[in-house]
Every structure is written in structure tokens, then in C-alpha cells.
Amino acid sequence: MLKSILYDATMCIDCKLCEKACAERNKLPYNEEVATEENLSAHKLTAVMAKGDKFMRRFCMNCEDPTCASVCPVAALRKTSAGPVTYDQTRCIGCRYCMMACPFNIPKYEWGVLLPRVRKCDMCADRVAAGKPTACAEACPTGATKFGDRDALVAEAKDRIAKNPGQYINHIYGLNEVGGTSVLLLSSVPFATFGYHTDMPKQPLPMLTYRVLSRIPDLVGLTGVFLGGIWWITHRREEVAAAEAHKEESEKTKK
């Protein structure tokens, strides 16, 4: 059963306990200075952002068909059947293709470390595999971050919007973006307010890439025919010019 996280920004109180729990689970430093940071980094894998009295979380969306995993040449990133997108640092070669490919700009790199890794939220894959909720969901005191079966959380999100249409933007972010994600977001203000792209395609990005790449053999073939045609025409012109020159030379000789 595919698991998911539902974050309801209308229930968030900016306590940052989700940040603290994430840091502890990933053995990352967390203090007052880190708490004030609203951007993701190699030492902060989830962040609560504030705009006045409105809040929003940012962390890896753990896409259902992750582009990061599709571009990784060594399978360091993998999508599990339960939902998390995991990272195996022993496989990673530091190419950082995942960072360039991610549509949400999530993966970060440990630039100042001797043996750097790519860092991102993996939706507490070990906890999920053990039947436990993610650390952030377990720590949330208001239920703003909830963990469970994706289908059930989608149904709950739709029910919340239907029962309180004036409280929510009529959109579940992550439901269809790039083919769907394992993180679902609800908000009372436009998601663009917090930097989320609202023009994401509904198709998985790896599928779009595949469609382009699948046409390459045809393009190569057509290009070969086109270039071959140009060569034939050019070569034929040279043959005709040579034949004409030989004919003129022969006629001069006869005279």
C-alpha cells in the first residue's frame, strides 16, 4: 500500500517540531539559528516557511515517478513500493544529475564535506518499512502533518476542502503534479505564495523524457537520409560539372 504525508497548512502553528524531529532522525544539528532558516540545505531537510500568519512546509515530495531516480546513472536513488524515494550514498558518484533534474529543486549537496553526499528527505523510509509514521508526523502536535495510506489521505483532503470551501484553495498540491507525489499539501493561500510552481505538468517527467529519447532513432535516421541526400546532390553536381568540362575540352580538341 502506497503511503503518503498530508500537510494541512491551515492547522500549522509554526512550532517547528517537525523540523526538530527530522533533524534528530537524520542526525543533523538543530538549534535556534537553524530554526530561523526557511531554505532547504544539506543540514536542513525540511523547513517551515512563514508569510505573516500563514505557514507552509517544504521538503522532498517523494514523487511517484521520480525524475531524480530516472536520471541517476548508478541507481543511488530509488522509489520504494511504500512511497519513499531512498538514497544510497555508497552508490553515489557525485554527478548531481538528481539536483538538476528535480522539478521541485529539493536535493542539496554537502559541498563542505570531505566525502560529500546528496541530502534530501527520504520520508523516513526505515520507519515506514517498520510500520511507523514519519518522524515529522509523529511529532506534530496539531495534526497539520499526517501520515497514512495515500488513497485515504487524498479522500480526507478532498473532504476537508468540500466541507470548508472558504478555508482552502481548491487544490491538493501533489495529487497530480508530475504524475503525483507521496506528499500532499493543503493551503488557504495560493501555493505560489511560498514558491511552489503551479504550472507543473500532470505527466511524470521521466515519461516526457522517454518520449523525446524514443524519437532519437527516428531523428537520427531522418538526419542520415537528409545528409545523404545533400551529399548525393553535391556529388552529382560535381559529376555533371566534370562531364560538361570534359565535353567542352573534347570539342575544342576536334576544332
Look over the chain and give the mean of its residue pLDDT values, rounded to a whole number. 88
120-144: per-residue pLDDT in tens?
999 999 999 999 999 999 999 999 9
With a CB cutoff of 8 Å and minimum separation 6, the contacts of 115 are none
Q: Please give the pLDDT value at position 104.
A: 96
User: If one looks up domain 3-204 in CATH, what number appears?
Assistant: 3.30.70.20
Q: Give pTM, 2 decimals.
A: 0.81
**Cell numbers found for residue 205:** 517527467
**Domain parsing of the chain, residue ranges:** 3-204, 215-254
pLDDT band at 205 (very low <50, low <70, confident <90, very high): confident
Sequence-separated contacts (24+) of 206-215 with Cβ below 8 Å = 206/65, 206/66, 206/67, 206/70, 207/65, 207/179, 209/67, 209/70
Percent of the chain past pLDDT 90, that is, above it, reads: 78
